Amino acid sequence: MHMPGLHNATQRQREIMRRADVLAARFSERAQVNDVASIFPHENYRAMHDSGYLRLALPTDHGGEGADVFDMVLAQEILGRGDASTALVVGMMLSLLGRVIDARAWPDAVLADICGTLAREGGTINNCVTEAELGSISRGGLPSMTAERADGGWRVTGRKIFVTGAPVLRFLATAVVLPPSETAPRGELVSAIVEGGSTGLSIDDTWSGALGLRGCGNQAVNYDGVFVPDARIVERIAVGAPRRAQGISGWNLPLAAVYLGIGQAACDAAAHYANNRVPPALGKPIATAPHIQQWIGEMDVTLRAARTVLHDAARAWVTGDVPKDFGASIAAAKYLCTNAACTVTETALRVAGGFSMTRALPLERYFRDARGGLFQPPQDDLALGMIGRAALEAEKARAVG
């Protein structure tokens, strides 16, 4: 598989990229079948655990390899080219755990327990926050999920939707509102770390036949008095107090890389088709036609531009060279990567013509999968607003200076 960025990667990054490439090649062989039948690929997660891929970004003192944001951006683009649904689930885990580790948002003992279990036993972890009446959590609002006091902890009841990776989650970091108390008269918004397979936990298949990313297990999860120990109630915020700003962790960048991977897969597939499609009337590959060359060129330059912004942001996060408005850089990378994927996958359909509409080529799957990025935070309007405010503030500062 063609791996952009390999030429200037470190030896360690090369090894990580090759590990991702081996997995991507295996996953791509069954991705089309899984898409058609809406199959959740459990075997992919066993393979990633066995290869150590799921342990890459876990801390070394908890059984991981300590890979950083840039390492995982490189790896996730490659994995996304092989099976975007699987790479998306991994990206969700990275986004959550990376932020928690960097911000020391959970007690050390809890983090050690969670990371150690994932390293030993496999599986993933994800935030479970969205509810049918809540809308996008990134736009504010409180979940309706409730909790009742129990001996040694809490029992939580409610339903979450769009829980990506639900069938393989070892832990579900679930947004819950605790009842009012002396220190929090209006209650507390918390993250309750629920163990997968707990009594009272069930999954509804609400994702089969979805438009795209059919293998990501984006299911609904029901909680019927599920017990959560006190120690696993973390990130408490009194209702009414300021919340943590959204979208400011560099660990969101490996998610953007997944969509860049979809775009690159589409570009590669379109180029392969163009080089090998020889219509009798033309007598030579359609790749010789100027308009095909232009389309491939447009696809390639769109991906190059998005990748440059993504890599620059990832490197800055790793080195710590981040300005106050770095959230705008993360938003820009996400916006460019997801929209590049949408643009490139559409152009790829034009290259292949009518065959692109059939399952003989993976292009129609890439086209559908790319659209998923439009609905993940920060959505385009929020991202552009964040970028615009940063640009306006920068101009104001220059004028004053």
137 falls in which pLDDT band (50, 70, 90)?
low
Domain range for 87: 6-123
Report the distance separating Cα 55 and Cα 399, nearest Å.
Answer: 47
Is 222 in the same domain as 268?
A: no
Confidence at residue 133, expressed as pLDDT on a 0 to 100 scale: 85
Stretch 344-358: mean pLDDT, rounded?
97
Q: Are residues 112 and 183 in the same domain?
A: no
Q: How many CB atoms lie within 10 A of CB 199?
A: 9
- pTM here is 0.95
Give the per-residue pLDDT at 32: 95
Q: What is the CATH number of the domain that holds 35?
A: 1.10.540.10
Contact between 166 and 120 under an 8 Å Cβ cutoff? The reply is no
Decide if 236 contacts 207 (C-beta within 8 A). no
Distance CA(259)–CA(338), nearest Å, equals: 5
- Look up residue 245 and give its two tokens: 């700003």
pLDDT above 60: residue 138: no
271 within a domain of the structure (yes/no):
yes
- CA-to-CA dists, residue 157 to 154, 181, 227, 238, angstroms: 10, 19, 9, 20
Residues facing residue 146 across a β-bridge: 157, 177
147 bridge partner residues: 156
Mean pLDDT of 258-272: 98
Question: What tokens appear for 339 in the block?
Answer: 């929209």
Q: State the pLDDT at residue 3.
A: 66
Alpha carbons 118 and 113: distance in angstroms, whole number: 9
| Overall average pLDDT of the 129-136 stretch | 80
119 in the same domain as 149:
no
Is residue 288 located within the same domain as residue 375? yes
How far is 189 from 176, CA to CA, in rounded Å?
A: 6
Asked whether residue 381 is domain-assigned, the answer is: yes
DSSP letter string over 100-164?
HHHHT-S-HHHHHHHHHHHHHH--EEEEE---TTT--GGG------EEEEETTEEEEEEEEEEET
Write out pLDDT tens, residues 197-249. 999 999 999 999 999 999 999 999 999 999 999 999 999 999 888 766 544 79
Q: Could you give the angle at the alpha carbon of 44 between the alpha carbons of 43 and 50, nearest 5°?
A: 90
Handedness of CA 208, 213, 215, 216 (dihedral sign): negative
Last residue of one domain, picked from the residues 238, 267, 302 = 238
Domain boundary, last residue among 238, 263, 296:
238
Of the candidates 238, 268, 288, which is a domain's last residue?
A: 238
Asked if 80 and 52 sit in the same domain, the reply is yes
Residue 384 has a pLDDT of 97
Tokens 């004053």 belong to: 400
SS3 category, 210? coil
Write down the mean pLDDT value for the chain.
Answer: 94
Q: Phi then psi for 159, rounded to 5 degrees?
A: -145, 135
- 197 and 66 in a common domain: no
Q: Which two tokens stand for residue 234?
A: 């973390």
Task: Return the amino acid letter for 232.
Answer: R
Peptide bond into 41 cis (omega under 30): no
Assigned token pair, 148: 């009742």
Any bridge partners for residue 201, and if so which? Answer: 223
Beta strands in 217-281 (DSSP E): 219-229, 233-238
Mean pLDDT over 181-196 rounds to 94
Please report whether residue 400 resides in a domain.
no
Asked if 105 and 119 sit in the same domain, the reply is yes
* Strand partners for 155: 148, 227
pLDDT tens for 273-288 read: 999 999 999 999 999 9
pLDDT tens readout for residues 288-333: 999 999 999 999 999 999 999 999 999 999 999 888 889 999 999 9
Same domain, 376 and 332: yes
Identify which has the larger pLDDT, 47 or 143: 47
Looking at residue 2, its pLDDT comes to 64
Q: How far is CA 33 from the centre of its chain?
A: 22
Measure the CA–CA gap between 331 and 349, rounded to whole angstroms. Answer: 28
pLDDT over 90 percentage in the chain? 89
